[in-house]
Amino acid sequence: MTSPAPVRVVWSREMLAYDFGHGHPMTSERLDLTIRLADSLGLLAAPGVDLVGAQIASDDLLQTVHDPAYVAAVHRASVDGTPDLAFGLGTTDDPVFPDMHEASARVVQGSVDSALAVWERRAMHAVNVTGGLHHAMPAAASGFCVYNDAAVAIRALLAAGAQRVAYVDIDAHHGDGVQAVFWDDPRVLTVSLHETGRGLFPGTGHAGETGGPEAPGTAVNVALPSGTGDAGWLRALDAVVPAVVRAFAPDVLVTQHGCDTHGLDPLTHLRVTIDGQRRAAELLHDLAHEVADGRWVALGGGGYAVVDVVPRAWTHLIGIATHHPVDPESKLPEEWRALVRERYGRLGPDQMTDGRDARFSPWSAGYDPGDDVDRSIRATRAAVFPTLGLDPDYD
């Protein structure tokens, strides 16, 4: 009997080089604490887990998404530290840092290698928590993102023979860069569940954004009210994502798991818990098995509550993807908490749960026109479901 393909987890200490510097929200401490927690819980050495690093992506690979002039600008900035504001390099969000090109290109290669391993059945699933840099545009850095690893990985899947790829983004911020790259490509479905752009960067992702003239219905946006918690967030995810992904019938599912939806995140205004984020990861994992024969690539993304949220959220993601899920009631290892105390002078969380059951009422239970979340869900379903052959009232 053939052993199942391993689950690929991308990591090496070199990944910590993607760091905009002291005081910037996108600190690589998030990644270090996540991997240390996952390792302390035994996930990285668990049976069937393949822990791999990544090389630096070639310019040719980057240019499948990014303009050559932009890639050249990143190279220059990386070498001499010179900002280039025309390309978004050297802004408050995206300051130039040493070896920026190499660090960013390594993240891209990690996601591309993962996508191809899943496509070629060398891996059952793959996780790259260093990836999910969804705001980077073809010709500009944006929103803490230099190169768009998700978009390059999707392009690599299409070049390798995938006919349809679905991308689902559950970051608090709209997945605008990935949507922009594939706006008019009928082979790629982009779905983003995010806080409304009226209150949060990048200000896009409204329900009426549904794809270009050659790809109507392939951009799906659920813009949720600020303050939405587990019940509303999960209801919205359940009311939109499975239906549109099933209708699209992708060969591969790529997901972005920015955990800045959490109520403790300093940059956003949603109120999701670790338990809600864990349930969302479970739903997307199950969906990949249902619609894409298990081909699933899970990426990181935003998340700026460095100690209290990111390590737990992404450790749960790694556990789910590797088929070694972590019991929410698990205590965090003392060695990890001691590290937090040493670095930050305080104790971190003591359990892998926020103590919530993450229950929600499914859309089939009925629509409440007086509820802000329900109105957001209904706007998305009305805008895009008919284009995909779905009934906005019943599917």
What do you get for the CA distance between the two ends of the chain, in Å? 40
- Rounded Cα distance between 326 and 291, Å, is 25
Write the CB contacts of 14 (distance below 8 Å, at least 6 apart in sequence): 53, 54, 106
- Rounded Cα distance between 193 and 209, Å, is 13
Helix axes 372-384, 230-248, angle to 10 degrees: 10
CA distances to 73, 77, 316, 385 from 85, in Å: 10, 11, 38, 39
**DSSP helix/strand/coil, 379:** helix
**DSSP helix/strand/coil, 139:** coil
Q: Could you identify the residue written with the tokens 């390798």?
A: 160
**For residue 17, what are its two tokens?**
């080089």
Catalytic residue positions, numbered: 135
Amino acid identity, residue 353?
A: T
CA triple 105-111-114, angle to 5 deg: 140
**DSSP helix/strand/coil, 165:** strand
Q: How far is C-alpha 337 from the chain's CA centre? A: 26
Q: Taking the CA of residue 156 as centre, how many other CA atoms within 13 Å lie in the half-sphere pointing to its CB? A: 27
